[in-house]
């Protein structure tokens, strides 16, 4: 009898919270919709995007409370209730940890910019960062968040150099595509202290295919530069074809790329898009004799990615053999 009284009392308390949960959930939903729209607007400045994007964790908490309270009490003993409770608790813990900055704190290490190289023709700059402690290494294809200005906050960059514990240097190649990268190009200089967080990402080139097709479009070439550095020191038995379509051309940068490809034993195909036209899926297919058994690794603009993946999917390449580094310009 006492259990029944306790259970009914608990249910009555939940029912008493419904009004507050409905109000909080409604306003949290509107706030989340606005924040998602702002995240999709590329013209929205990065330093503001970073702050508003973090507010999504704040908005999640009342939405979780809304879902928890408004669930039918009878569902608590059913699988749907268990799943809802797990999702609410796990999401709330993750949101709180994000708000207190826990993920970044455990992976942050100090660094110093030791060199900066600029390629005006490409609107690209390259900088080398030396880390003295805390960085345990990374794999080619991974990225790190770098803070060069506390007010601006961290920004993700692909690491364009394989890890060498003797030099302890990380290279980043950045194109001036948005408000943040344009300011960074003017601000970053030799001797500047920076904070790194990472490494992150699973674009690791690991599969069971003897032939790999790489497509690094524009600044999307960066993870492939790092991988070629790894292959130069530790070659494997794969045959690799690297396609690099680029609208802007710097002979100095292309010479470095050719040297990296030669040292790694990679077949490099450069496409100057402005004068030679766009790279097509058919040209890639026709350039790779064993393309049916190859894997496809892509990093670059979204439009070309969709074209390539849709076409190779039509030609029968399994989805598990198509890999894409997801990024967009801001």
Kindly report, residue by residue over 190-226, the tens digit of the pLDDT: 999 999 998 988 888 989 999 999 999 988 899 999 9
Judge if 232 and 276 occupy the same domain.
yes
In this structure, is residue 32 part of a structural domain? yes
For tokens 């949101």, the residue is: 95
Structurally, the chain folds into a number of domains equal to 3
Check: CB of residue 109 under 8 Å from CB of residue 131. yes
Q: Could you say which residues of the chain have pLDDT below 70?
A: 1-11, 13-14, 46-47, 73, 101-106, 326-330
Burial of 7 (0-12, 13-18, 19+ CB in 10 A): exposed
What size, in residues, is the chain?
Answer: 330
Check: CB of residue 276 under 8 Å from CB of residue 284. no
In this structure, is residue 51 part of a structural domain? yes
For tokens 């790194």, the residue is: 196
Among 75, 100, 125, residue at a domain's last position = 100
Judge if 216 and 311 occupy the same domain.
yes
Judge if 295 and 308 occupy the same domain.
yes
> What is the CATH number for 187?
2.40.30.10
Residues sharing a CB contact under 8 Å with residue 114, sequence separation 6 or more, in sequence order: 128, 129, 130, 169, 190
Judge if 219 and 178 occupy the same domain.
no
In this structure, is residue 205 part of a structural domain? no
What CA–CA distances, in Å, run from 239 to 161, 215, 319, 325? 21, 14, 20, 21
Structure confidence by residue, pLDDT tens digits, 39-74: 777 777 766 777 787 788 888 888 888 887 777 767
In this structure, is residue 241 part of a structural domain? yes
> What is the CATH number for 267?
3.40.50.80
- φ, ψ of residue 59 to 5 degrees: the values are -65, -30
- pTM here is 0.74
Rounded Cα distance between 187 and 34, Å, is 32
Q: Where would I find the H helices in 121-204?
A: 179-187
Domain span including residue 319 = 211-325
């Amino acid at each position: 009898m006492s259990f029944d009284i306790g259970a009914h009392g608990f249910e009555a308390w939940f029912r008493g919270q419904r009004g507050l949960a409905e109000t909080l959930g409604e306003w949290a939903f509107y706030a989340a919709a606005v924040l998602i729209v702002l995240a999709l607007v590329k013209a929205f400045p990065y330093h503001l995007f970073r702050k508003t994007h973090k507010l999504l964790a704040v908005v999640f908490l009342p939405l979780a409370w809304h879902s928890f309270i408004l669930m039918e009490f009878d569902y608590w003993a059913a699988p749907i209730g268990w799943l809802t409770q797990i999702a609410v608790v796990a999401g709330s813990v993750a949101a709180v940890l994000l708000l207190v900055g826990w993920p970044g704190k455990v992976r942050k290490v100090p660094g110093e910019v030791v060199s900066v190289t600029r390629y005006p023709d490409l609107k690209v700059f390259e900088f080398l960062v030396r880390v003295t402690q805390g960085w345990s290494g990374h794999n080619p294809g991974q990225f790190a968040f770098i803070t060069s200005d506390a007010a601006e906050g961290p920004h993700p960059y692909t690491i364009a150099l394989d890890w060498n514990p003797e030099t302890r240097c990380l290279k980043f190649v950045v194109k001036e595509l948005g408000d943040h990268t344009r300011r960074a190009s003017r601000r970053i200089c030799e001797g500047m202290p920076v904070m790194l967080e990472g490494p992150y990402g699973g674009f690791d080139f690991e599969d069971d295919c003897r032939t790999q097709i790489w497509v690094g479009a524009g600044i999307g070439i960066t993870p492939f530069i790092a991988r070629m550095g790894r292959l130069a020191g530790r070659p494997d038995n794969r045959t690799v074809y690297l396609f690099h379509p680029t609208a802007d051309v710097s002979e100095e940068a292309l010479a470095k790329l050719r040297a990296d490809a030669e040292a790694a034993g990679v077949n490099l195909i450069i496409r100057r898009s402005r004068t030679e036209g766009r790279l097509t899926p058919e040209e890639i297919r026709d350039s790779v004799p064993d393309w049916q058994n190859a894997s496809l690794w892509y990093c670059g603009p979204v439009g070309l990615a969709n074209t390539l993946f849709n076409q190779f999917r039509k030609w029968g390449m399994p989805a598990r053999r198509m890999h894409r580094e997801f990024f967009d310009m801001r």
